[in-house]
Amino acid sequence: MIVNFGSVALDTTRTPFRTVKDVLGGSGTFFGLAASFFHETGLIGVVGEDFPEEYTKLLAERLDLTGLAVEKGKTFRFDSSFGYDLGTRTTNKTELNVFGEWEPSVPDEYKDAPYLYLGNIGPEQQLLVLDQMNEPELTVADSIELWIKTRRDLLIDVISRVNGIVLNDDEVRQLCRTSNLITGARTIMDWGADFVIVKKGEHGSILFAPDTIFPTSGYPLEEIVDPTGAGDAFAGGFMGHLARRGKIDDKAMKEAVIYGNVMGSFAVEEFSIYRFIGLTMEDIEGRYRKYKQMVAF
Amino acid sequence: MIVNFGSVALDTTRTPFRTVKDVLGGSGTFFGLAASFFHETGLIGVVGEDFPEEYTKLLAERLDLTGLAVEKGKTFRFDSSFGYDLGTRTTNKTELNVFGEWEPSVPDEYKDAPYLYLGNIGPEQQLLVLDQMNEPELTVADSIELWIKTRRDLLIDVISRVNGIVLNDDEVRQLCRTSNLITGARTIMDWGADFVIVKKGEHGSILFAPDTIFPTSGYPLEEIVDPTGAGDAFAGGFMGHLARRGKIDDKAMKEAVIYGNVMGSFAVEEFSIYRFIGLTMEDIEGRYRKYKQMVAF
């Protein structure tokens, strides 16, 4: 099983073309749904009593929800806007609500899972989850600017204890205080990570490991509807493929990065998680093959 | 021969780390030096009487200069600054000087050349050169924001008469009034170009042709000194390889894009054109092979 610790949120997303309110979102949601195509995935997260029944059903269709707590109060809410080019997001409001002070608890049946993903929650909560697990084979963490700015030292602690870290290019530059991504990735590996994946949105991603630099371009899309969740879907495709392969070597890692690009490319084609509804493994493998053929020379 | 129409300039480039004044630059210079590694290249351009003898010698070592005029007045000067991440350029001053009203004349011995590159000069001057040539097999043009803003219709005329166009991603968005690069590339092909190459700086480039989308990532560099000229060096590697191959099919085009990335990556490793001094074809082929190995999966 892949244990997936992340937020389950109600998103309000505003683009110049359309606004959607209180739709299903959150890093745990996007990661989990993407990963679930490849491997059994269990979710650790919390929602409030206002969380719509239909969203719980939707998640339950693809995920083990033993780790999903329901607490008194309101669900985590995230309100953001995109400009005309859908390139940069502006956060309008983040209401942590029930997620704020929540102390995550790992269900006993998750503790021996070989794969652990720590979504972009604060490093205190990431460490709480990590401490309850029995040495997973592969742990990957994500983070965001907020924690780089307010909890940098604790985030570096997290990095020292995980195998891989997944960050945006700007986050690497901020965290490592360098403009150069290679230099930044080396710094992160010096802190103890085995590998670093730098996500660059539409420009693709780069995998850095001690003897590997694997730059990839994004899957070209004619229509992008809502970039929300692309990074988490990327991570879901990445870990999902590694879990499915059951072997973590250079070849599997590279393939996994491409599956990450593919899952990210699906995520942005609809608002919320709706592109994943009705998506099949055949669609995923088809896009993977198309990508592979496209970039060959 | 590749006929290369472009600027020969004295650049002042300011980075947070160093400033260089009146160094050899210009689109014709960068394109020509890059292309010259692959195929005989002739330069059409103009300099003033103040153009340093040593720069003429340096160009003459690699380029046919029959088409380089020396006019009374000052050489084209370009003054620009880069911020800390060397990502975005700010133009401080552009002095066209002798280039301003110059009417380019194509030497007789260039007129039957099969390959023509129209560097980022104004579309009036690009058309003057195009009109003097005897139907080259492959013509590629570049442009810049200035002409998109001030000469859009004439630039579209140029596009309708060339085979390929090379533009930055932002330029495609502006020119085609769309945020989507695929849509933009289609528009440009509707105007009459056979193919479009979108340059994305450190993020690589994408080749668009009617039945081809070929996204590529940039060659990862640990040290970038001066991004000036990277786009022209890209175009030089691209056309140089096609001329060397002597055959313009899908495979050659894709390889040519990678040689473009490679030449662009060399250009930014030093100020001005200095990375090309002492560079060998072996270095170029070595980086091409390394890139190919790096991106394989």
How far apart, in whole angstroms, are the C-alpha atoms of residue B80 and residue B91? 4
Phi, psi of A41 (to 5 degrees): -135, 130
- Interface contact B215-A224, CB threshold 8 A: no
- The per-residue pLDDT for B230 is 96
pLDDT tens track for A158-192:
999 999 999 999 999 999 999 899 999 999 999 99
Chain B contact set for A87 (CB, 8 A): 179
Q: State the average pLDDT over residues B216-234.
A: 95
- Interface contact A179-B295, CB threshold 8 A: no
Indicate if the pLDDT at residue A199 is higher than 90.
yes
pLDDT band (50, 70, 90) for residue A84:
confident
Q: State the average pLDDT over residues A245-274.
A: 97
- Interface contact A183-B222, CB threshold 8 A: yes
Indicate if the pLDDT at residue B89 is higher than 90.
no
- Is beta strand B19-25 parallel, antiparallel or unpaired with respect to B41-48? unpaired
Indicate if the pLDDT at residue A87 is higher than 80.
no
Q: Is A186 exposed, middle or buried (0-12, 13-18, 19+ CB in 10 A)?
A: middle
Nearest to A99 by CA among A75, A123, A131: A75
Q: What ipTM does the predicted assembly reach? A: 0.93
Chain A contact set for B257 (CB, 8 A): 297
The strand ranges marked E within A15-128 are: 19-25, 41-48, 68-71, 77-82, 89-95, 115-118
Interface of A with B (CB under 8 A): 84-87, 173, 179-183, 200, 203-204, 206, 213-224, 251, 254-255, 257-258, 292, 294-295, 297
Q: Which residues contact A91 (CB under 8 A, 6 or more apart)?
A: A78, A79, A80
Q: Which residues contact A257 (CB under 8 A, 6 or more apart)?
A: A197, A205, A207, A214, A216, A238, B297
Distances (CA, A) of B82 to A122, A276, B15, B89, B227: 35, 42, 5, 5, 9
* Residue A130: how many other CB atoms lie within 10 Å: 21
- The per-residue pLDDT for A88 is 79
pLDDT tens track for A28-53:
999 999 999 999 999 999 999 999 99
Entry pTM: 0.95
Query: Which residue in the block uniquely carries the two structure tokens 């990862």?
Result: B220
- The per-residue pLDDT for A101 is 87
pLDDT tens track for B100-136:
889 999 999 999 999 999 999 999 999 999 999 999 9
Query: Which residue in the block uniquely carries the two structure tokens 């590998």?
Result: A195
**In this complex, which of A217, A222, A297 lies closest to B258 when CB atoms are compared?**
A297
Please work out, in degrees rounded to the nearest 5, the angle formed at the alpha carbon of residue B62 by the alpha carbons of B58 and B63: 100
Task: Give the up-direction half-sphere exposure of residue A26: CA atoms within 13 A in the CB hemisphere.
Answer: 30
Q: State the average pLDDT over residues B145-161.
A: 97
Interface of B with A (CB under 8 A): 84-87, 173, 179-183, 200, 203-204, 206, 213-224, 251, 254-255, 257-258, 292, 294-295, 297
Q: State the average pLDDT over residues A248-266.
A: 97
Q: What is the DSSP letter of A115?
A: E
- B74, two tokens: 């000052």
How far apart, in whole angstroms, are the C-alpha atoms of residue B207 and residue B171? 15
Question: Which residue of chain A has the CA closest to B169?
Answer: A203
How far apart, in whole angstroms, are the C-alpha atoms of residue A17 and residue B72? 55
- Interface contact A215-B222, CB threshold 8 A: no
Share of chain A above pLDDT 70, in %: 100
**In this complex, which of A173, A182, A214 lies closest to B222 when CB atoms are compared?**
A182
- The per-residue pLDDT for B16 is 87
Question: Which residue of chain B has the CA closest to A87?
Answer: B179
Q: How many CB pairs under 8 A join A and B?
A: 81
- The per-residue pLDDT for A56 is 98
Q: State the average pLDDT over residues B168-176.
A: 95
- A71, two tokens: 């607490």
Alpha helices for A94-205 (secondary structure H): 123-132, 145-150, 152-161, 169-176, 181-190
Q: How far is A124 from chain B (nearest CA, A)?
A: 31
Nearest to A114 by CA among A6, A1, A37: A1
Indicate if the pLDDT at residue A85 is higher than 80.
no
- Interface contact B85-A222, CB threshold 8 A: no
Chain B contact set for A203 (CB, 8 A): 200, 203-204, 217
pLDDT tens track for B244-296:
999 999 999 999 999 999 999 999 999 999 999 999 999 999 999 999 999 99
- The per-residue pLDDT for A83 is 86
Question: Which residue of chain B has the CA closest to A259?
Answer: B297
Query: Which residue in the block uniquely carries the two structure tokens 């960068």?
Result: B30
Query: Which residue in the block uniquely carries the two structure tokens 């990450």?
Result: A260
Q: State the average pLDDT over residues B186-204.
A: 97
- Interface contact A217-B217, CB threshold 8 A: yes
Nearest to B72 by CA among B101, B43, B112: B101
**In this complex, which of A183, A200, A251 lies closest to B203 when CB atoms are compared?**
A200
Q: How far is A30 from chain B (nearest CA, A)?
A: 24
Indicate if the pLDDT at residue B84 is higher than 90.
no
Strand partners, B117: B4, B140
> Residues A108, A112, A115, A116: what is their CA dihedral angle, to the nearest 10 degrees?
40
> Residues B277, B47, B111, B241: what is their CA dihedral angle, to the nearest 10 degrees?
20
